[in-house]
């Protein structure tokens, strides 16, 4: 309808030059002018509606992909082990949405009407039609050249931009080390090189697109002049009227305008196409299949059988042939030197990393047989780095629940020994944690993470060096929390070097070199395989080491 109304201009021109000027009828001129105003007003309304529909489509697209993109971002962060590339899906969604809300889709919608306007030019006169057709063909070839020359450039620009972002994010995270060790000069030089590569890629892309856009604009102006010149020649020979000459110029402009608009928005079109392809690939790679059958909450056993584990995307195993089983009420101390695979085992128990071989089973089922949202409340985890979300303390303890249980929040905080500390904060449980969590020390954050792990009494607790930053009071609270979890029938897996933590466990697993060296009752394993380490600078007297 919009493009049909575009014909109002050429028709008005034909009527004015061929009828009004000949008849000198003011009434006809007024009637034609009013009709033209109505057509243009309707055209404006349709154009506004079309623009708002594109905005609506962009909004619907964004709403429908946000949850899959969020889940894929988490999945990619695990697969890529925290790489900044995990944020690429959300950047791709922004790029696609921006293109949908721009003028590029309007040009694509108008493009199928270009042949219709060319046919009308042929109907006016074959010479005018051929000039318009040749012009459209030339512009189409320019578009193909633009696509071909810019095909590889967005890839390099995106790659350089990703490296630049990763470097800056790394420098931000390690700002204190940079200042303390005087690394700013060397890192600034590296940043300048990375930024220069990124700008060079951007400049190459911009120069290519701008060059073809300028060429297209010049060709269109030349074709308009050629149409007017050819029309004047035909008017002189009385083959067409002067109104038809002007109308053909307008129709050729409308025929070529969508092609010019598409070329002008070529960078956005190429970027949106690349973003859509990457997004589809990332969603497929980062999303996890959610089982359709709901399983009962685990309550009885954890079994690890012939487990072989490697980082995502790698075939080089970190752990091999790990075997043990635990029942409700057991507490397992996983000990061994640094790099022996303790944290890797924690990721396997939680279903974060998938085994290359063997299995981890909770009540006979592997973690991927549960919907993570359903299994999550029955699992508690304290990682070595106790990251806290930018939200209130209560929201953090309740695992960011939209319907938190206040009694369960306070109970978990008391179990972690952090209740009184929270009450001393200005807003208590409603105190907001920022990105840096500067209001809490490392030990306090670790206790807050412990409270989050204990929220609503989960069945499986996996605690990876949870006392690495704790003071004496915090360690006592941790030990009491482990005892309470055991007494209610939970299973606790504790990665630790501390003798006090090992003492509250009834079973011990000794890892060394990625292999299981011993597993069994605590006293038996300690008596045969371990010795009390001598005081040393790295761990002091409170460490247990594997015997040489």
Q: Residue 542: give its domain's CATH number.
A: 3.40.50.300
From residue 434, give the alpha-carbon distance in Å to each of 49, 383, 402, 445, 469.
42, 19, 19, 12, 20
pLDDT of residue 533: 40
Q: Which domain holds residue 309?
A: 301-383+459-546
pLDDT score for 81: 63
- The enclosing H or E element of 465 equals none
Q: Tell me the per-residue pLDDT of 127-138, one tens digit each, with 9 for 90 and over.
A: 888 888 888 888
Whether 408 is in a domain gets the answer no
402 in a structural domain: no
pLDDT score of 449: 92
Q: What is the mean pLDDT of residues 356-362?
A: 94
The pLDDT of residue 78 is above 50: yes
Q: Name the helix (H) or strand (E) containing 331.
A: strand 331-335
* pLDDT at site 162: 67
- Identify whether residues 265 and 318 lie together within a single domain: no
pLDDT band of 486, cuts 50, 70, 90: very high
Query: Do 281 and 308 belong to one domain?
Result: no
Of 235, 255, 286, which marks where a domain is finished?
286
**Residue at a domain's end among 251, 286, 321:** 286
Portion of the chain with pLDDT greater than 90, in percent? 24
294 found inside a domain: no
Q: In CATH, what number is assigned to the domain containing residue 221?
A: 1.20.1560.10
Residue 409's pLDDT band (boundaries 50, 70, 90)? very high
% of the chain with per-residue pLDDT over 70: 88
Look at residue 547 in the predicted model and tell me its pLDDT: 42
On whether residue 333 sits in a domain, the answer given is: yes
Q: What is the pLDDT of residue 154?
A: 53
pLDDT at 199: 76
Whether the predicted pLDDT of 378 surpasses 50:
yes
Residue 30 shares a structural domain with residue 169: yes
- Whether residue 361 sits in one domain with residue 251: no
Domain count, the chain: 2
Domain shared by 259 and 312, yes or no: no
Q: Which of 541, 546, 508, 542 is nearest to 525 (CA)?
A: 508
Please indicate, yes or no, if residue 489 is contained in any of the structural domains. yes
- Residue 489 reports pLDDT greater than 60: yes
Of 412 and 226, the one with more pLDDT: 412
Q: Which pLDDT value is given to residue 215?
A: 81
Same domain for 202 and 82, yes or no, is yes
Judgement on whether residues 259 and 371 belong to the same structural domain of the protein: no
Q: Which of 187, 197, 190, 193 is nearest to 160 (CA)?
A: 197
Tell me the average pLDDT across 245-272.
77
Instruction: Report whether pLDDT(541) > 50.
Output: no
Residue that finishes a domain, picked among 261, 286, 311: 286
Q: Indicate the pLDDT class of residue 299, thresholds 50, 70 and 90.
A: very high
pLDDT exceeds 70 at position 108? yes
Query: Is 447 part of any domain?
Result: no
- What pLDDT digit, counting tens, does each position of 20-52 carry? 777 778 888 888 888 888 888 887 888 888 888
The mean of the pLDDT values for the chain is 82
Are 28 and 112 contained in the same domain? Answer: yes
Confidence category of residue 441, pLDDT binned at 50, 70, 90: confident
| Statement to judge: residues 305 and 211 lie in one domain | no
Q: What is the mean pLDDT of residues 185-205?
A: 76
Report the pLDDT value the prediction gives residue 281, as an integer from 0 to 100: 84
pLDDT at residue 540, as a whole number: 45
- Please tell me the predicted confidence (pLDDT) of residue 532: 42
* 349 and 200 together in one domain: no
Residues 149 and 281 in one domain: yes
378 shares its domain with 244: no
CB atoms near residue 53 (< 10 Å): 11
Q: Which of 168, 170, 171 is nearest to 179 (CA)?
A: 171
**Residue 221 falls within a domain, yes or no?**
yes
Q: What is the C-alpha to C-alpha distance for residues 268 and 433, in angstroms, rounded to an integer?
A: 38
pLDDT reported for residue 330: 96
Residue 419 lies in a domain: no
């Amino acid at each position: 309808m919009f493009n049909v109304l575009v014909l109002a201009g050429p028709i008005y021109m034909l009527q004015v030059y061929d009828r009004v000027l000949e008849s000198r009828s003011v009434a006809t001129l007024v009637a034609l002018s009013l009709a033209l105003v109505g057509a243009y007003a309707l055209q404006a309304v349709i154009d506004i509606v079309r623009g708002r529909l594109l905005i609506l489509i962009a909004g619907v697209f964004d709403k429908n992909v946000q949850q899959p993109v969020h889940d894929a971002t988490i999945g990619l962060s695990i697969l890529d082990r925290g790489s900044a590339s995990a944020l690429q899906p959300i950047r791709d969604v922004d790029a696609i949405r921006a293109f949908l809300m721009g003028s590029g889709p309007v040009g694509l919608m108008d493009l199928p009407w270009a042949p219709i306007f060319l046919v009308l030019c042929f109907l006016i006169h074959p010479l005018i039609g051929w000039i318009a057709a040749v012009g459209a063909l030339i512009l189409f070839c320019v578009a193909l050249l633009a696509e071909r020359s810019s095909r590889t450039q967005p890839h390099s620009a995106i790659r350089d931009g990703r490296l630049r972002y990763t470097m800056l994010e790394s420098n931000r995270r390690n700002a204190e080390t940079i200042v303390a060790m005087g690394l700013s000069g060397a890192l600034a030089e590296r940043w300048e090189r990375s930024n220069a590569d990124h700008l060079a890629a951007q400049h190459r892309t911009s120069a290519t697109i701008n060059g073809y856009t300028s060429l297209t604009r010049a060709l269109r102006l030349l074709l308009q002049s050629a149409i007017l010149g050819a029309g004047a020649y035909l008017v002189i020979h009385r083959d067409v009227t002067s109104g038809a000459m002007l109308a053909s110029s307008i129709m050729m402009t409308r025929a070529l305008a969508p092609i010019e608009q598409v070329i002008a928005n070529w960078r956005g079109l190429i970027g949106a196409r690349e973003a859509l392809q990457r997004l589809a690939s990332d969603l497929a790679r980062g999303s996890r299949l959610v089982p359709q059958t709901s399983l009962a909450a685990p309550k009885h056993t954890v079994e690890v059988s012939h487990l072989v584990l490697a980082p995502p995307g790698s075939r080089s195993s970190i752990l091999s042939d790990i075997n043990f089983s635990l029942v409700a009420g057991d507490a397992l101390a996983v000990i061994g030197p640094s790099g022996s695979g303790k944290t890797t085992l924690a990721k396997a128990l939680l279903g974060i990393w998938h085994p290359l071989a063997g299995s981890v089973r909770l009540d006979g089922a592997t973690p991927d047989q549960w919907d993570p949202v359903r299994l999550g409340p029955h699992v508690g985890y304290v990682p070595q780095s106790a990251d806290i979300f930018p939200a209130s303390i209560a929201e953090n303890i309740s695992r960011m629940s939209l319907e938190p249980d206040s009694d369960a929040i306070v109970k978990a905080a008391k179990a972690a020994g952090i209740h009184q500390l929270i009450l001393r904060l200005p807003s208590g449980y409603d105190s907001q944690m920022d990105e840096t969590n500067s209001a809490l020390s490392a030990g306090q954050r670790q206790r807050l993470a412990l409270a989050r792990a204990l929220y609503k009494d989960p069945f499986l607790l996996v605690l990876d060096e949870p006392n690495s930053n704790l003071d004496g009071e915090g360690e006592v609270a941790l030990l009491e929390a482990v005892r309470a979890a055991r007494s209610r029938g939970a299973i606790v897996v504790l990665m630790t070097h501390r003798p006090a933590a090992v003492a509250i466990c009834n079973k011990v697993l000794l890892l060394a070199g990625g292999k299981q060296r011993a597993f069994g009752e605590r006293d038996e394993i300690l008596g045969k395989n371990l010795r009390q380490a001598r005081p040393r600078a790295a761990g002091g007297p409170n460490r247990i080491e594997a015997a040489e």
